[in-house]
């Protein structure tokens, strides 16, 4: 919401918060489209009704159902309704005031869970009659009651309207958000080294992307890296995301522009400016490491022709495809920028276009 979303985005990562502005294009492999009303955005509505409000069918057509809300430590109230073939099931729970209400249509039988939210419940009255004070007392329309560590549950609930008053004792503990943790570590963004990587990066090895032209890299891989490989996605559907080589782009040869990567660690003056690129949506880089080995990898980006490129970089474990580092946004990199990470296993990087015609990658350096 802080970023201006008026509906759930197609996808979202919390680490975007530090690199994306209000109503910026989201770095979600959508070619720089700001998806504020994407059709997949309806998914959270179903999830909110089922998991937070807690209305779920337990047999086809909601002939039987559960209402088991999950408010956690920060929400104090929730209310909503779910359409069914029999009519609407509605529910509201307020754990601050203890007032709750459920309405169920004819043709249904349900279970209602009154959340304890880490407090104790002294008593519950339903439609003005005490139904629970540590034991169940019969109430019209309710078949039985039981409790577990999280809920007082009323079962065999018949169609009708049930107004409940819950007497709570104690306080729900304050929610303290845990820090984000990642298996890999982001070290820094370097905007000063430019193409003079010798003596700074690549002491163990390097890959200069498309440095020899025609898609041929200049590379010297360290002993612990078995291979590095690129792929690009073509089109939005899974069927079209074939394993295709990225586009080799060769900007300049034998240039003394220091934005171009040096040909070796001596930082010689005559250089080639090149990259691997994809103009559609996204491309990936996989670094295959032999076993487990601590290493640093620095990725070099240069917006050589000053096209205002902006790209998001995701680092994943190559085997599990789980995100292992915060998503980083690379922009304003006409002068060249490095993203530097450390990890101990094979890694897969995904480069998503946010702005500009293409995503680019010009160098990979190992230490």
Domains defined along the chain, listed by start:
60-169 (2.60.420.10), 185-366 (2.60.120)
Give tens-digit pLDDT for 66-117: 999 999 999 999 999 999 999 999 999 999 999 999 999 999 999 999 999 9
Supply the DSSP symbol for 41: G
Query: Could you give the C-alpha distances from 358 to 32, 249, 309, in angstroms and in order?
Result: 10, 11, 7
Q: What is the pTM of this model?
A: 0.76
Regarding beta strands 64-67 and 55-57, do their DSSP bridges make them parallel or antiparallel, or are they unpaired?
A: antiparallel
Q: Which residues pair with 101 in a beta bridge?
A: 92, 163
Both tokens of 66, joined, read 């559960």
Share of the chain above pLDDT 70, in %: 90
Q: Which residues pair with 166 in a beta bridge?
A: 124
Give tens-digit pLDDT for 160-175: 999 999 999 999 999 9
Work out whether the CA dihedral 248, 253, 257, 260 comes out positive or negative: positive
Regarding beta strands 109-115 and 64-67, do their DSSP bridges make them parallel or antiparallel, or are they unpaired?
A: parallel
pLDDT for the residue 237: 44
| Three-state DSSP state, 86 | coil
Single out the residue of 352, 313, 112 nearest to residue 233, CA to CA: 352
Single out the residue of 283, 279, 274 nearest to residue 219, CA to CA: 274
Determine which helix (DSSP H) or strand (DSSP E) holds 308, and give its type and residue range.
none
Rounded to whole angstroms, the Cα distance separating 143 from 136 reads 10
| Three-state DSSP state, 238 | helix
pLDDT for the residue 30: 55
Give tens-digit pLDDT for 36-56: 666 666 778 888 999 999 999
- Distance between alpha carbon 366 and the CA centroid of its chain, in Å? 27
């Amino acid at each position: 919401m802080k970023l201006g979303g008026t509906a759930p985005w197609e996808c979202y990562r919390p680490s975007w918060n530090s690199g994306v502005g209000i109503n910026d294009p989201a770095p979600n492999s959508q070619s720089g489209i700001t998806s504020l009303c994407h059709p997949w955005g309806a998914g959270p509505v179903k999830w909110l009704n089922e998991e937070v409000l807690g209305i779920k069918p337990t047999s086809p057509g909601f002939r039987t159902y559960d209402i088991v809300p999950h408010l956690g430590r920060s929400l104090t109230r929730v209310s909503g309704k779910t359409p069914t073939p029999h009519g609407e099931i509605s529910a509201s729970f307020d754990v601050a005031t203890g007032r709750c209400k459920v309405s169920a249509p004819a043709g249904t039988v349900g279970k209602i869970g009154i959340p304890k939210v880490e407090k104790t419940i002294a008593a519950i009255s339903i439609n003005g009659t005490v139904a629970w004070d540590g034991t169940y007392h019969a109430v019209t329309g309710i078949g039985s009651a039981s409790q577990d560590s999280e809920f007082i549950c009323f079962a065999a609930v018949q169609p009708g309207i049930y107004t409940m008053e819950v007497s709570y004792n104690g306080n729900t503990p304050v929610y303290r958000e845990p820090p984000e943790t990642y298996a890999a570590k982001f070290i820094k963004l370097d905007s000063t080294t430019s193409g003079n990587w010798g003596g700074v990066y690549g002491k163990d090895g390097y890959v200069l992307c498309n440095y020899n032209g025609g898609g041929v890299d200049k590379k010297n891989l360290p002993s612990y890296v078995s291979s590095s490989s690129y792929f690009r996605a073509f089109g939005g559907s899974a069927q079209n995301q074939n394993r295709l080589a990225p586009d080799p782009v060769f900007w300049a040869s034998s240039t003394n522009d220091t934005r171009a990567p040096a040909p070796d660690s001596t930082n010689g003056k005559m250089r080639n400016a090149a990259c691997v690129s994809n103009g559609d949506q996204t491309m990936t880089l996989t670094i295959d490491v032999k076993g487990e080995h601590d290493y640093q990898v620095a990725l070099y980006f240069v917006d050589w022709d000053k096209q205002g490129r902006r790209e998001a970089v995701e680092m994943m474990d190559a085997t599990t495809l789980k995100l292992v580092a915060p998503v980083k946004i690379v922009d304003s990199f006409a002068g060249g920028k490095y993203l530097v990470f450390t990890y101990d296993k094979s890694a897969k990087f995904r480069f998503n276009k946010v702005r500009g015609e293409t995503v680019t990658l010009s160098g990979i350096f190992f230490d």
